[in-house]
Chains A and B, each alone.
Chain A
């Protein structure tokens, strides 16, 4: 595969033409996977012998937590592409992804709190993983606010890219907090390449479908929102040209 061909998609027109074809398919796949995964998990899986029916929260909590971290890492990659290659589509893709990542982080925090209350006896603890997720959520809010606060698109892209680099430390901490500090209430990772460490198969398969659904939903939303950002940027450029006469 010729990697240089990827740069063709940095052209806004080419990006919109390509996503015209891809977006409907990704959207349908996202809805189907989410509906199948959540119905399977909610209605057709047993209770866990320790956690009872609260185990059904795993189908929302784990995929959203995974996405919360990985969306930021995707933003890191696109921000680096902006810094190095100055492709506007990559900066706009990072901007488009941020609200999606923020909502994923909020879902992970909310479902974690609701799950934690009956299991740990508290909604919240200043546990390494919980705290790093809260900081990641604040980084998402700060990142979105910075884009809104700066009028010049290129300056906004530069500054938000730097913020993204700094926030990546917390995205990685959120992922590895349990390994770094062997303390706190939160359990270790539910997913691992080592099959022995994963949840039981009866929970694992619907969980995989839900994760696929969350990933596809993220892709669909980022494509849609990036197209919107490209059009909004073109509109601002046309209006500026009009004003200058």
Chain B
């Protein structure tokens, strides 16, 4: 299944590893911040409502 990458295996595999890792971190950080800000906004909105 794995293609024979010959003498350039290290270069090809490290390119894919670095790129996929960077993309995964970017997506994960974006989702984490979205979740955190949603929660904080809900808290602030309910506090504002309570205070009238």
Contacts and interface: CB of A to CB of B under 8 A. Distances in A.
B10 to A, nearest CB: 9
B22 A115 contact: no
Contacts of A225: 30, 33-34
B8 A53 contact: yes
Interface residues of B, number: 34
Interface string A40-64: 0011000100001110110011001
A231 B38 contact: yes
A239 interface: yes
B11 A238 contact: no
A54 B11 CA distance: 7
Contacts of B3: 42-43, 53
A242 interface: yes
B48 A238 contact: yes
A54 B19 contact: no
Interface string A223-244: 0110110011011001101100
A221 B26 contact: yes
A107 interface: yes
Interface stretch (A86-94, A98-106, A124-132): A98-106
Given A111-B19, A234-B41, A242-B51, A57 B11 contact: yes
Contacts of B19: 60, 64, 107, 110-111
Contacts of B27: 217, 221
Contacts of B14: 114
Contact of B30 (A64, A110, A221, A241): A221
A242 B51 CA distance: 9
A238 B45 contact: yes
A232 B26 contact: no
A52 B31 contact: no
B12 A56 contact: yes
B12 A235 contact: no
Nearest to A228: B34
Contact of A52 (B7, B23, B40): B7
Contacts of A47: 6
A188 interface: no
Interface string B24-52: 01110111011001101100110110010
Nearest to B26: A103
Given A42-B16, A47-B6, A232-B37, 6 more contacts: A43-B3, A52-B7, A53-B9, A56-B15, A106-B22, A221-B27
20 contacts: A42-B3, A53-B4, A53-B8, A53-B9, A60-B15, A64-B19, A103-B25, A106-B22, A110-B18, A111-B15, A111-B19, A118-B8, A217-B23, A224-B31, A225-B30, A225-B33, A228-B34, A231-B41, A235-B40, A238-B45
